[in-house]
């Protein structure tokens, strides 16, 4: 039997819009030939752009109300020296992007370009600093360069480079994956370093910064414990990274050619996010009962084999209905743990891993994952309503997952996923605390397909897209809903 109870009068915490954040690294075609065409005169002439940043991408991300963008990495962040990416572009030094394909990075996209991009997107920047191979002074000066409003060597440099006003960047990451590509540190060593680097990442005037410590990979609970114990008082957020990988590291599985068994393995791995959030949060609770420190899932998503014929170091993968369901499952977990999860960032926005957009020359397509972001934007900064889900099983997993919220105008949104590849699911939704009149206005939108490998291509960009959903009716005091197989739905009750 399928049954969902939404406790409409028990809303307490806000679902931070930053849960719907993005991550864009100097990796493959995410920045270069993704967002940025400013260093390629031919592309810049053919593709409408504003100061080198593609207009179609900006418009699409504004539609899903992108709240923040994490940059410049990832592993790249701990090799990046920000001063190489400012000043006249022709004079910027190059470097080797050792993590991602060994290509030459020309530093044409740097701090000013990134902050211009965030301005165009209307989102908050989240800058990840270099702890692995950088210095305390370097990070400290980056913060000063971006945020100080007085007279100082860094503000003079900023002015010389064409920007008088500080940007007042709030979100700063103190290193990335410092247990691995960010320096192979122990938790104890990193915790001490975190404290040192964080000390000199200053607040200037009203530019108060939110410092995010590098957190654990996957199920490494020891890292979280050490960080909370030794440095919990000095941080605002603690990250975790978790990727959904259906196969083994060496053979992760094709993005578009997979069987039903792989679909369910993927869903099972994606469901691991709930366990991770619960267990890391429980450790954080021991040290931080008031939940002051936010859990920041600043890398999540599917990691699959690259598309045949593409550079293995560029991590370019297609995106199907399977990715859409993974996104829906994750968002329900994040929404339902809004008391601790403050931010999350999908890896990565364009042309890398579980992207929301893919580009080919001047063409740009939206992936099924993009449409899930669209369906869930109703939850941004809305008050979480607790849900109770009783579900049939499929492939050994609950077929259904759900989350709900009430927005500032009193509208209730309920988002639902059905991971079953074959069966539709009939369910009743009880809106506890609400009297349903038969005339209540229930509108719905759905993303679904009869084909689990359905995806959008440059020739057929609308194979998977959001449609109106009508299989919902008022039945006594409940809503009766029929969810098609492989579907993500958001209902709105006004
Ligand atoms: O997103 C790709 C990579 O995955 C990031 O650079 C790194 O932080 C993680 O291992």
Rounded CA-CA distance 471/445 in Å is 10
For residues 395 and 353, membership in a common domain is answered with no
Total number of domains in the chain: 2
Structure tokens at 427: 């369910």
What tens-digit pLDDT sequence spans the chain (494 residues)? 899 999 999 998 999 999 999 999 999 999 999 999 998 899 999 999 999 999 999 999 999 999 999 999 999 999 999 999 999 999 999 999 999 999 999 999 999 999 999 999 999 999 999 999 999 999 999 999 999 999 999 999 999 999 999 999 999 999 999 999 999 999 999 999 999 999 999 999 999 999 999 999 899 999 999 999 999 999 999 999 999 999 999 999 999 999 999 999 999 999 999 999 999 999 999 999 999 999 999 999 999 999 999 999 999 999 999 999 999 999 999 999 999 999 999 999 999 999 999 999 999 999 999 999 999 999 999 999 999 999 999 999 999 999 999 999 999 999 999 999 999 999 999 999 988 887 788 999 999 999 999 999 999 999 999 999 999 998 888 999 999 999 999 999 98
Ligand 1 atom 2, closest CA: 74
Same domain for 253 and 123: yes
In a domain, 408, yes or no: yes
Alpha carbons 472 and 441: distance in angstroms, whole number: 11
Q: Does the residue 186 lie in any domain?
A: yes
Asked if residues 412 and 405 have their Cβ atoms less than 8 Å apart, the reply is yes
Nearest alpha carbon, ligand 1 atom 5: 74
Instruction: With respect to residue 61, please indicate whether it lies within any of the assigned structural domains.
Output: yes
Classified as helix, coil or strand, 173 is strand
The half-sphere exposure of 406 on its side-chain side, counting CA atoms within 13 A, is 15
Q: What is the per-residue pLDDT for 486?
A: 98
Any atom of ligand 1 within 6 Å of the Cβ of 75? yes
| Closest residue CA from atom 4 of ligand 1 | 74
pLDDT number for residue 441: 85
Question: Would you say the CB of residue 73 lies under 6 angstroms from ligand 1?
Answer: yes
Burial of 83-98, coded b for 16+ CB within 10 Å and e otherwise, reads: bebbbebeebeebebe
Residues linked to residue 8 through DSSP beta bridges, in sequence order:
none
Give the distance (Å) from ligand 1 centre to CA of residue 110: 19
Are 491 and 414 spatial neighbours (Cβ–Cβ below 8 Å)?
Answer: yes
d(CA 401, CA 387): 10
Helix (H) or strand (E) holding 393, with range, is strand 393-394
Which amino acid residue places its CA nearest to atom 3 of ligand 1? 74
CA of residue 189 to ligand 1 center, whole Å: 21
Q: What is the CATH number of the domain that holds 306?
A: 3.20.20.80
* Mutation to probe ligand 1, out of 27, 76, 176, 177 (largest number of atoms < 8 A from CB): 177
Residue 30 falls within a domain, yes or no?
A: yes
- CA atoms of 236 and 208, how far apart (whole Å): 11
374 lines ligand 1 (CB under 6 A): no
On whether both 149 and 276 belong to a single domain, the answer is: yes
Position in ligand 1 atom list of the atom nearest CA 99: 6
Contact 213, 237 (CB under 8 A): yes
Cα separation of 155 and 158, whole Å? Answer: 5
Q: Which atom of ligand 1 is nearest to the CA of 217?
A: 10
How many angstroms separate the alpha carbon of residue 316 from the centre of ligand 1? 13
CATH classification of the domain holding 418: 2.60.40.1180
- Among candidate residues 380, 405, 424, the one where a domain is terminated: 380
Do 372 and 408 belong together in one domain? no
Structure confidence at residue 469 (pLDDT) = 97
Just list the catalytic residues: 177, 299
* Chosen domain end from 337, 362, 380: 380
Q: Which atom of ligand 1 is nearest to the CA of 100?
A: 6
396 and 347 within one domain:
no
Q: Is the CB of 176 under 6 A from ligand 1?
A: yes
> Distance from CA of residue 421 to its chain's centroid?
26
Ligand 1 atom 1 nearest Cα: 347
Same-domain status, 272 and 332: yes
Write the DSSP symbol of residue 310.
Answer: S
Task: Tell me which of 325, 350, 380 is where a domain ends.
Answer: 380
Q: Rounded CA gap, 186 and 154, in Å?
A: 33
The CB of 177 under 6 Å from ligand 1? The reply is: yes
pLDDT of the residue at 73: 97
CA-to-CA distance for 134 and 141, rounded, in angstroms? 12
Q: Is 240 in the pocket of ligand 1 (CB under 6 A)?
A: no
- The total number of residues shown for the chain amounts to 494
| Ligand 1 pocket test target in 74, 76, 216, 304 with most atoms within 8 Å of CB | 74
Structural domain for 184, as ranges: 16-380
Question: How many beta carbons lie within 10 A of that of residue 122, not counting itself?
Answer: 12
Q: Are 355 and 448 contained in the same domain?
A: no
Q: Which residues pair with 191 in a beta bridge?
A: none
For residues 108 and 185, state if they share a domain. Answer: yes
Which residue CA neighbors atom 9 of ligand 1 most closely? 74
pLDDT for 455 equals: 98
Q: Tell whether 1 is covered by a domain.
A: no
Distance, C-alpha 172 to centroid of its chain:
16
| Position 4 in a domain | no
Q: How many Å lie between the centroid of ligand 1 and the Cα of residue 45?
A: 32
Is residue 410 assigned to a domain?
yes
Structure-token match 């008022």, residue found: 474
Unique residue bearing structure tokens 């260093």: 39
How far apart CA 274 and CA 210 sit, in angstroms, is: 25
Domain shared by 374 and 393, yes or no: no
Query: Is position 2 within any domain?
Result: no
pLDDT the model gives residue 437: 81
Regarding the beta carbon of 77 and ligand 1, being less than 6 Å apart is answered: no
The confidence score (pLDDT) of residue 475 equals 83
Say what the pLDDT of residue 477 is.
80
Residues 101 and 75 in one domain: yes
Do residues 372 and 489 share a domain? no
In 3-state terms, what secondary structure has residue 259?
Answer: coil
Co-location of 250 and 337 in the same domain? yes
Helix-, strand-, coil-residue percentages of the chain, each rounded to 5: 30, 30, 40
- pTM comes to 0.97
pLDDT on residue 392: 97
């Amino acid at each position: 039997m399928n049954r969902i109870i939404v406790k409409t009068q028990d809303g307490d915490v806000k679902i931070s819009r930053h849960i719907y954040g993005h991550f864009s690294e100097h990796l493959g075609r995410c920045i270069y030939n993704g967002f940025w065409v400013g260093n390629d005169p031919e592309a810049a002439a053919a593709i409408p752009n504003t100061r080198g940043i593609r207009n179609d991408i900006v418009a699409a991300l504004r539609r899903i109300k992108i709240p923040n963008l994490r940059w410049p990495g990832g592993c790249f962040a701990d090799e990046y020296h920000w001063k190489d990416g400012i000043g006249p572009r022709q004079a910027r030094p190059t470097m080797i992007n050792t993590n991602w394909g060994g290509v030459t990075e020309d530093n044409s996209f740097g701090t000013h370009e990134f902050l211009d991009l965030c301005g165009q997107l209307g989102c908050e920047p989240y800058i990840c600093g270099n702890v692995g191979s950088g210095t305390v002074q370097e990070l400290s000066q980056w913060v000063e360069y971006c945020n100080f409003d007085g007279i100082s060597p860094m503000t003079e440099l900023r002015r010389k480079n064409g920007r008088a006003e500080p940007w007042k960047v709030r979100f700063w990451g103190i290193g990335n994956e410092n247990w691995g590509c960010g320096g192979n540190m122990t938790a104890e060593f990193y915790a001490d370093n975190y404290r040192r680097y964080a000390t000199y990442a200053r607040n200037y005037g009203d530019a108060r910064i939110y410092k995010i410590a590098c957190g654990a990979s996957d199920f490494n609970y020891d890292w979280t414990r050490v960080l909370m114990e030794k440095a919990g008082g000095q941080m605002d957020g603690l990250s975790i990274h978790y990727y959904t990988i259906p196969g083994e590291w060496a053979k992760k599985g094709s993005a578009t050619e997979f069987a039903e068994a792989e679909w369910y393995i993927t869903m099972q791995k994606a469901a691991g996010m709930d366990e991770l959030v619960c267990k890391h949060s429980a450790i954080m609770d021991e040290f931080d009962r008031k939940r002051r420190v936010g859990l920041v899932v600043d890398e999540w998503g599917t990691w699959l084999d690259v598309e045949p014929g593409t550079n293995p170091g560029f991590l370019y993968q297609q995106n199907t209905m399977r990715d859409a369901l993974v996104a829906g499952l994750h968002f329900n977990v994040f929404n339902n743990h809004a008391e601790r999860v403050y931010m999350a960032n999908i890896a990565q926005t364009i042309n890398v891993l579980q992207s929301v957009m893919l580009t080919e020359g001047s063409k740009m397509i939206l992936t099924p994952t993009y449409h899930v972001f669209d369906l869930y934007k109703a939850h941004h900064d809305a008050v979480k309503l607790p849900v109770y889900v009783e579900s049939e099983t499929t492939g050994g997993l609950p077929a259904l997952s759900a989350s709900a919220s009430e927005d500032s105008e009193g509208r209730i949104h309920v988002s639902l996923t059905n991971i079953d590849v074959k069966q539709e699911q009939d369910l009743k939704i009880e809106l506890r605390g609400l009297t349903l009149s038969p005339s209540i206005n229930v509108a719905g939108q759905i993303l679904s397909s009869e084909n689990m490998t359905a995806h959008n291509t440059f020739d057929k960009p609308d194979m998977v897209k959001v449609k109106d959903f009508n299989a919902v009716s008022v039945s006594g005091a409940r809503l009766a809903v029929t969810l098609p197989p492989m579907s993500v739905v958001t209902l709105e009750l006004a």
